[in-house]
Amino acid sequence: MKIAYVFPGQGAQFVGMAKELLEKNPEFESYFSKANEILGFDIKKIMLEGTMEELTQTDVTQPAVFIHSVLTAMSQSHFNPSMVAGHSLGEFSALVANKTLSFEEGLKLVSIRANAMQRACEANPSTMAAVLGMEDEKVDEICQSIDEVVVAANYNCPGQLVISGSMKGVELASEKLKEAGAKRVLPLKVGGAFHSPLMESAKEELKKAIESTHFNTPVCPIYQNYTAKSHIEPSEIKQNLIDQLTGSVKWTQCVENMIVDGASKFVELGPGSALIGMIKKINADVEAVKE
């Protein structure tokens, strides 16, 4: 049986996250000490005792979800993935899980990414919206018909897609999508237009950091958001990770390709269980569980 391990992205955080992990695995304290040193603030305190408001700051959210996900993978006694994938930020957790990156290098890149994205959001006020009950192709077509910046950002599962762009672009697209028959278009509470051309400045910053980081050859393939394909070559993995910031998260396509390549069971590692729901909507016949 081929098992695919998948890792969540921003939005999976919750108050008190990692509390249970630490209680069961007190040896993980050392990872929090390393994390506090790398980040320059007490991430453990915020994860265990912080408010939802604190946890939803991009520079906190991304490291928190990454740390929780990686430590969850480390806590699995029989962790032997045939393949891995992560949703947006989750791709970094997946790359630690398949030994491409160390915990420390992964966290450094996540921190740089989070801060760069935060600056890009401040420079260009922008937003995202979830589109429910419409075919992907129709959403793409409507986004392309608008003169403002607006793109399909996350292909989450059939009938659920997220658009991203300028305030005006998302507003115009939302109106057109409703007129064209979308069941619902819901504005998201996010800092800016992730996975859109408006993240270009963050992409340049992340590119420098990734290019100067050593990536090992992984122990199993990663299916990357940008291409939705299997990758094992470090130089390709680096480039796809860079391109992911301004490109779409092709989650539906990633899962479909993993199934074609033999994945018969998906295990979600990290906070929340959003990916399990998406996977079951992509293919109801595969086994999908939360660890």
Contact status, residue 269 vs residue 96, Cβ threshold 8 Å: no
| Residue 214 is among the residues annotated as catalytic for this protein | no
- How many Cβ atoms from other residues are within 10 Å of residue 130's Cβ? 16
| Cα–Cα distance measured from residue 185 to residue 182, given in angstroms and rounded to the nearest whole number | 7
From 68, 195, 196, 231, the catalytic residue: 195
Length, in residues, of the chain? 291
**CA dist 90 → 173, 194, 273 (Å):** 28, 14, 13
Sheet holding 222-223, edge to edge: 230-231, 222-223, 83-86, 2-7, 263-268, 287-290
Phi-psi region of 262 (alpha: psi -120 to 50; beta: other; left: phi over 0): left
| Residue 102 is among the residues annotated as catalytic for this protein | no
| Cα–Cα distance measured from residue 192 to residue 221, given in angstroms and rounded to the nearest whole number | 31
From 68, 69, 87, 88, the catalytic residue: 88
Sheet holding 160-166, edge to edge: 150-157, 160-166, 126-132, 184-187
Query: Which residues does the annotation mark as catalytic?
Result: 88, 195
